[in-house]
Copies of this chain bind each other. A is one copy, B any other.
Amino acid sequence: MAPRPDPAETRELILEAARRCFARKGYYRTSMDDIVAESGLSKGTLYWHFENKRALFLALFDRLMGEVFAPTEEIMSSDAPVSERLRRLGVAVSEAIAAHPEFAAVPANFLLELWQDEEFARHYLAMLESLVEQTEALLQEGIERGEFRPMDVHEVTWGLMALYDGIILYHMIGLPGDLKTRLVTMTDLVVEGMRKRDNS
């Protein structure tokens, strides 16, 4: 007899296949048949595990965001100087992406769907907001410790997010340059820009 397959494993196979497909061709250009072919499973199985294409994408997104942001919490709560912690964040993110080179495209795709899709939008914002809160607290700490000048912490936090997403996006679409170098360079510049000057 064929060994009865483990459902959790099947789910895994689907997610991995979907990850490869979405990374290769994006959300719209990936068909369920593509994922069927990539996974070696059947169409019915896909629909048994995931309600529809969107739900499959959403599940994948959750897991990917988890992997990318897993190290952040630890870094943020260390007691190194804030500027040092920010730089380490850049390094951590770039390493997470480098470790999964092909999956990295998915968040960009996600934004695509997000934009004008209520369900997605709520989902993504929730995720982003927790990250924003942590970063705001980090910057605030920097100010209180006297590392940074006073500033609009909320504004700069969103600016940093946008900077990171922009750099990651450029990386995904194959623009030239090294991801880690660019993340660190730009983080350092912004950190330097925030730093308290002796004469100020």
Point out residues on A near B: beta carbons under 8 Å. 24-26, 28-29, 105, 108-109, 111-116, 121, 125, 128, 152, 155-156, 158-159, 161-167, 169-170, 172-177, 181-182, 185-186, 188-194, 197-199
State A139–B6 Cα separation when bound (angstroms). Answer: 58
Bound form: Cα–Cα A123–B102 in Å? 24
User: From A159, which residue of chain B is reached at the shortest CB distance?
Assistant: B186
Report chain B residues within 8 Å CB of A186: 156, 159, 162-163, 190
In the complex, are the beta carbons of A182 and B166 less than 8 A apart? no
Of the residues B105, B165, B167, B188, contact of A170 by C-beta under 8 Å = B165
Closest to A171 in B: B162
Known: A108-B112, A108-B115, A166-B169. A158 touches B175 (CB 8 A): yes
State whether A162 and B169 are in contact (beta carbons under 8 Å apart), knowing that A112-B109, A112-B111, A115-B174 are contacts in the complex.
yes
| Chain A binding surface, main DSSP class | helix
Closest to A192 in B: B193
The 6 tightest CB contacts between A and B, nearest first, are A166-B166, A193-B193, A192-B193, A162-B166, A189-B193, A115-B173
Nearest B residue to A162 by beta-carbon distance?
A: B166
Chain B hits for A116, CB < 8 A: 24-26, 29
For A125, what are the chain B residues with a Cβ–Cβ distance below 8 Å? Answer: 175
In the complex, which residues of chain B have a beta carbon less than 8 angstroms from the beta carbon of A111? Answer: 112, 169, 173
Within the assembled complex, what's the spacing in Å between the Cα atoms of A128 and B128? 29
Set of chain B residues within 8 Å of A190, measured between Cβ atoms: 186, 189-190, 193
Contact of A189 with B182 in the complex, beta carbons under 8 Å: no
B112–A115 CB distance below 8 A = yes
